[in-house]
Amino acid sequence: MRVLIVQHDEGVHAGRFRGLFAANGLGTTAIIAPEVTEWPAQDSFDALWVMGGAMQVWETQAYPWLTSEIAFIADAVNAGKPYFGICFGHQLLAAACGGQVGAARSRELGLLPITGGDAVLGAGAEDGREVFQWHSAEVSVVPPRFRAGWSSPLCAHQTLQGPRGVFSVQFHPEVDLTTLQDWYAIPGVTDDLAAMGGPDFPDRLIADFTTRAGQQDALAAELFDNWLRAARTTIAG
């Protein structure tokens, strides 16, 4: 299986999923959306992953390439390509497939609980599962032919499942400690965190994340296994 990974910044990559791709024998090619002059042909890849980003779906005037990326995602899904979207990639999927995305009522940031259960992420304990959140927009209307599964008190649509191996999540299962440190290296990120939670918030976030690394490893492995099973079934026809 040839997996195309669309990033929106060099540092916002597939993180801990890179090891899972390799362990399962999947070949990957990563491209940076703002640098794309011509999107790859649909027959050049078998499955599409779309990662997070600091921009918003509706900011097409500030980021003109967003219009072509949304069209590219729509073409891939319509062609029956398995898909996995993370945060911005979750929102782009919704926009590409007839849903709606808007500003969240309240930003979610840090390790927070979600509740529910679906094919994307199997049901958890009665009090839900902890996932790593970092977003200020959300899917406000689920696309036709899609199902929403998990939710949080601040965000109703934490997962989406579409036809033919199309999954997406609002949260960030790809983030491990190395990935989080890569994000901190992006100019302005730690300043923004400090403005939101106080000068010690970036360090507290790292410490909190480190204590739950094993839990997040297991969560990512479950998500990946569920997606890969659905993707392989889709490709096999």
E-strand ranges in the chain read 2-7, 27-32, 47-50, 83-86, 100-114, 129-141, 147-148, 159-162, 166-169
Q: Say which of 8, 90, 135, 172 is annotated catalytic.
A: 172
Rg, the chain, Cα only: 17
- Judged by DSSP in three states, 77 sits in helix
- Specify whether the CB–CB gap between 76 and 42 falls below 8 A: yes
Q: Does residue 155 have an active-site annotation?
A: no
Q: 92: closest CA among 133, 53, 120? A: 53
Q: Say which of 69, 87, 155, 157 is annotated catalytic.
A: 87
Task: Copy the structure tokens of residue 84.
Answer: 């996995």
Q: Does residue 97 have an active-site annotation?
A: no
User: Cα separation of 114 and 56, whole Å?
Assistant: 23
- Specify whether the CB–CB gap between 159 and 167 falls below 8 A: yes
Residues annotated as catalytic (active site), given as ranges:
87, 172, 174
